[in-house]
């Protein structure tokens, strides 16, 4: 299982994310900056896993969170190509034996259950490392980032109801989570430089890149919210 997480799973994610990244420039609903940050996170988490194969930590969590992101982007791609697939009805391509199994596989991978489960697994993996090591670092940042991802997932999917939905939609709460994720990952980066004179590529870099990419999005939403509030007051 450790070999799969350290070698096979990161390679699989990269092979899947790179075509999605190419498609992102033609699909307005897909964010190229976010996907590029996820590719960097996979590389950095894989680098840390190769050196430390023992135990479960935030490097495993980052890979699971990237897997959750991949599933969501695949769902966007599936919806984007849905119209083209309908145009092919009645053709030989539409009746191929591979079409139904492929559609079923995509529906399973892009389901809310799978994406939320992967994100929750990422949170649990980071929490396990926090329990073992209380020193401030990327594992703390991964916990905050995973909570943000879960909030985003639960709110977008409609699973969160009532007060939980209000919390998940709260832009200021999301900003608080991402600022903490950025701060803790930067702390580990600085400590690496002080200890060995250079920064060592690891999962904390992945947390930093992902948190910064999400910060741009959340700050934009916060500005939009403030602008709408001013318009109502006027």
Does residue 3 register a pLDDT over 50? no
Q: How confident is the model at residue 143 (pLDDT cuts 50, 70, 90)?
A: very high
pLDDT at 35: 72
Report d(CA 223, CA 121) in Å as an integer. Answer: 32
CB distance 4 to 48 below 8 Å: no
Phi, psi of 200 (to 5 degrees): -105, 125
pLDDT at 13: 59
pLDDT at 59: 80
Burial 152-173 (b: 16+ CB within 10 A, else e): bbbbeeeebeeeeeeebbebeb
pLDDT, one tens digit per residue, over 162-181 is 899 999 989 999 999 999 99
pLDDT at 124: 92
pLDDT at 31: 67
Does residue 144 register a pLDDT over 80? yes
Query: How far, CA to CA in Å, does 41 sit from each of 32, 160, 211, 234?
Result: 14, 27, 10, 44
pLDDT, one tens digit per residue, over 99-128 is 666 667 777 777 888 888 989 998 998 999
3-state helix vs strand vs coil in the chain, percent to 5:
80, 0, 20
- Whose tokens are 């997480």? That residue is 5
User: Which helix (H) or strand (E) segment is 225 a member of?
Assistant: helix 203-233
Q: How confident is the model at residue 88 (pLDDT cuts 50, 70, 90)?
A: very low
Does residue 8 register a pLDDT over 80? no
Could you tell me what percent of the chain has a pLDDT over 90?
15
Could you tell me what percent of the chain has a pLDDT over 70?
70
CB distance 216 to 33 below 8 Å: yes
CB atoms within 10 A of CB 60: 26
Does residue 149 register a pLDDT over 70? yes
| Residue (of 117, 151, 137, 149) closest to 204 by Cα position | 137
CB distance 151 to 168 below 8 Å: yes
User: Who has greater pLDDT, 184 or 102?
Assistant: 184
pLDDT, one tens digit per residue, over 11-47 is 555 556 555 555 555 555 556 677 777 777 877 777 7
Q: Tokens representing 1?
A: 């299982």
């Amino acid at each position: 299982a450790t070999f799969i997480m350290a070698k096979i799973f990161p390679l699989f994610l990269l092979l899947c994310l790179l075509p999605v990244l190419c498609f992102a420039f033609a699909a307005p609903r897909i964010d190229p900056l976010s996907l590029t940050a996820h590719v960097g996170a996979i590389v950095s988490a894989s680098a840390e896993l190769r050196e430390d194969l023992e135990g479960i930590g935030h490097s495993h969590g980052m890979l699971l969170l990237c897997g959750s992101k991949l599933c969501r982007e695949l769902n966007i791609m599936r919806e984007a190509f849905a119209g083209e697939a309908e145009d092919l009805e009645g053709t030989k391509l539409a009746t191929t034996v591979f079409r139904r199994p492929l559609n079923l596989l995509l529906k399973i991978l892009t389901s809310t259950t799978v994406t939320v489960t992967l994100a929750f697994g990422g949170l649990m993996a980071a929490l396990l490392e926090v329990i073992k090591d209380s020193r401030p670092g990327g594992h703390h940042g991964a916990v905050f980032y995973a909570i943000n991802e879960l909030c985003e997932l639960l709110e977008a999917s409609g699973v969160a109801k009532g007060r939980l939905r209000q919390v998940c939609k709260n832009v200021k709460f999301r900003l608080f989570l991402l600022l903490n994720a950025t701060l803790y990952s930067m702390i580990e980066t600085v400590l690496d430089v002080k200890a060995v004179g250079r920064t060592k590529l690891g999962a904390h870099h992945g947390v930093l890149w992902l948190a910064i990419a999400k910060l741009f999005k959340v700050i934009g939403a916060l500005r939009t919210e403030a602008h709408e509030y001013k318009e109502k007051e006027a």
